[in-house]
Structure 1
Amino acid sequence: MPDIHDPSESSLGHGHTHGAASFNRAFIIGTTLNVAFVIIEVFYGWHAGSLALLADAGHNLSDVAGLLLAWGAQAAGRREPDARYTYGWQRASILAAFTNAVLLLVAMGSLMWEAAHRLHSPVPVEGMTVIVVAAIGVVINGLSAALFMVGRDDDINIRGAFVHMAADALVSLGVVFAGMLYLWQGWAWVDPVTSLAVALVIIAGTWGLLRQSLRLLFDGVPERIDLAAVAASLRSQPGVTEVHDLHVWAMSTTGYALTAHLVMPAGHPGDSALEAIAAVLRRDFSITHSTLQIELASHDHGCHTI
């Protein structure tokens, strides 16, 4: 239950449920599959002389790190608050989402750099080996992405893991395409060109994750929250004539917090009325932690009034 504070009365303490759904099994399976596939790709990529396979292996390795990071952040977010960390370590999931986005962009930048060099000096590859190994990658990465599909819309940390796996599947599919064209026409340049094209697609898809996580790191209003709608909802509550100092931010990738001053000239409405307001915030905006201060008249607190 949200904390509701009133300067004229003692604060009301309530328990909170901040934990997101556990994806431990998904992380275990996804990490194991990708570690095994990295080993396979490195071996056959070197044997076949395929930059696309070797680059994909490097990208998969960064994804293993990304999965471990997201997994660790989810575990850290479940740590109970204490006197030093009063919110616990919930923000770890935001940091993980941001780092995952950066890792993916760096990996794609490296891939594009190597592909550009290979364009100047194309080399022959073993097309069939490339096709078979990359096809295995499509299956493994597709299955890994499916493990995180359920939580990708509600948690950008899980979305980061999903984007990594889905990107891997796309890269592997591009490698299959390059291998088939090489067998058909003998075009050695197809391998680096395909790598460049896939990298650009993934960079475009990752930009949203980077932007969202950066916004949350700076305590910006989460994209899923319409601040004007929150203010309107608070003003519509019985006895509320004005809303001041309204702030909404993310404590984690799944938990939102709010503080606001409510002008109520008739006086304190009672604990049950404030609990009802908190319930509305949870139901309509997924705000799980609310702190509401009651004022009898409007005051200038130096903050923008919504």
Structure 2
Amino acid sequence: MSHGHGHGISPAEAATSNSGKHVNKLWIAAGLGLVTFVLQVTVGFFTSSLALLSDSAHVFTDIFGIFMALAAILVAQRAARRPDRTFGMYRTEVFAALANAILLFAVAGWVLYEAASRFSDPPEVPGLPVAIVAVVGLAMNVIAFLMLRSGAKESINIRGAYLEVMADMIGSIGVLVSGLVTLAFGWRYADPVIGVAIGLFVLPRAFNLGRHAVRILLQQAPDRIDVTSILEKINTLPGVVDAHDLHVWTLTSGMEVASVHVTAASDADPTTVLAATQTLLAEVFELEHATVQVELQGSDGKCTELAW
């Protein structure tokens, strides 16, 4: 019976390359968010603008989410290597992303509730200060959005912060439109209408982020992986009789892991079968960290099939 696993990027390197390299950008984005938040809350209370206050709530979750993302990265990078932490602390990034999704849901719900209550008697909101603050907030969000865009493709943790910044950017555009419409036409419904639009924009994005995080926490196979196809292709390799007990899961963004048992023909070379299986997983399915156990057909070392 032969064992082996292919190694691509190491867990420590994965954390550094996927999330850790964006730490400075996250700090800058958090600073920009703080400036925007203070400005929007101050002007929002003085003008009674729901659009501004709802956008400031988004900015708050943005800042909070970024700090959670930073904390998750730092914990993952600095967690002491202990025998019982066989995968380190990288899963904290996924918990941070899930928390961000929950926050986005809560804020969107509050905005929709508050907007609905204002439709019966919308307050008079001055358009000029709202528009000015919206321009400032939009500029801050655009800078943060551009900084985090590349990291969102590599890390679910960064993606959570990125989505919140994107929502804030769209919110700033909405607030700007609200301010300009109020300033030009004096239409009092512009503010609650924009508030509803912002809430509806955020909800599906929060759902997708939360769904992806839950899939990882439940150790489901990544969306891109066809588990049946993996088994079929392993079974076509020379010397392979059967592939079974296949598991594919995501530890955190950029760290996909697999394990599989392969039964080789009694006259096959286990080392050759092992190498072929590892090559297939790495080159065809991009599963570079895969543990493969090879068992000879008819040998006493064949694994016991588990009921679960």
Same fold (TM over 0.5): yes
Given residue 73 of structure 2, which amino acid in structure 1 is its aligned partner? Q
The superposition leaves residues 54-75 of structure 1 with CA deviations (integer Å, 9 ceiling, x where unpaired) of 1211211111110111122222
Flag structure 2 segments of 5+ consecutive residues without an equivalent: none
The superposition leaves residues 189-225 of structure 1 with CA deviations (integer Å, 9 ceiling, x where unpaired) of 1101111012112112222111111111111111122
Matches within 5 A, 1:214-229: 214-229=214-229
The superposition leaves residues 114-156 of structure 1 with CA deviations (integer Å, 9 ceiling, x where unpaired) of 1112222211112011011111111211221211211323322
Q: Does 1:237 align with 2:237?
A: yes
Flag structure 1 segments of 5+ consecutive residues without an equivalent: 1-7
The superposition leaves residues 137-177 of structure 1 with CA deviations (integer Å, 9 ceiling, x where unpaired) of 11211221211211323322221111111010001111111
Equivalent in 6, 10, 34 of residue 17 of structure 1: 10
Matches within 5 A, 1:159-198: 159-198=159-198
Over the matched positions of the two proteins, sequence identity in percent amounts to 30
Contact 1:212 1:223 survives alignment (8 Å): no
SS in structure 2 of the partner of residue 295 of structure 1: strand
Q: Give the structure with the higher percent helix.
A: 2
CA separation in 2, counterparts of 1:67 and 1:256? Answer: 24
CA separation in 1, counterparts of 2:270 and 2:45? Answer: 71
Query: Cα distance, 1:101 vs. partner?
Result: 1.0
Matches within 5 A, 1:134-283: 134-266=134-266, 269-271=269-271, 274-275=274-275, 277-283=277-283
What corresponds to 1:28 in structure 2? 27
In 2 relative to 1, CA 153–283 (structure 1 residues): closer, same or farther, beyond 3 Å? farther
Normalised to the residue count of structure 2, the TM-score between the two structures is 0.88
Q: Does 1:91 align with 2:91?
A: yes
Query: Cα distance, 1:230 vs. partner?
Result: 2.2
Name the count of aligned residue pairs.
Answer: 297
What corresponds to 1:3 in structure 2? none
What corresponds to 1:301 in structure 2? 305
Contact 1:244 1:303 survives alignment (8 Å): no
Query: Cα distance, 1:277 vs. partner?
Result: 3.3
In 2 relative to 1, CA 185–263 (structure 1 residues): closer, same or farther, beyond 3 Å? same
Normalised to the residue count of structure 1, the TM-score between the two structures is 0.89
CA separation in 2, counterparts of 1:164 and 1:135? Answer: 18
CA separation in 1, counterparts of 2:161 and 2:216? Answer: 17
* Greater relative contact order structure (CA < 8 Å, 6+ sep): 2
CA RMSD of aligned residues (A): 2.3
CA separation in 1, counterparts of 2:236 and 2:266? Answer: 15
What corresponds to 2:54 in structure 1? 55
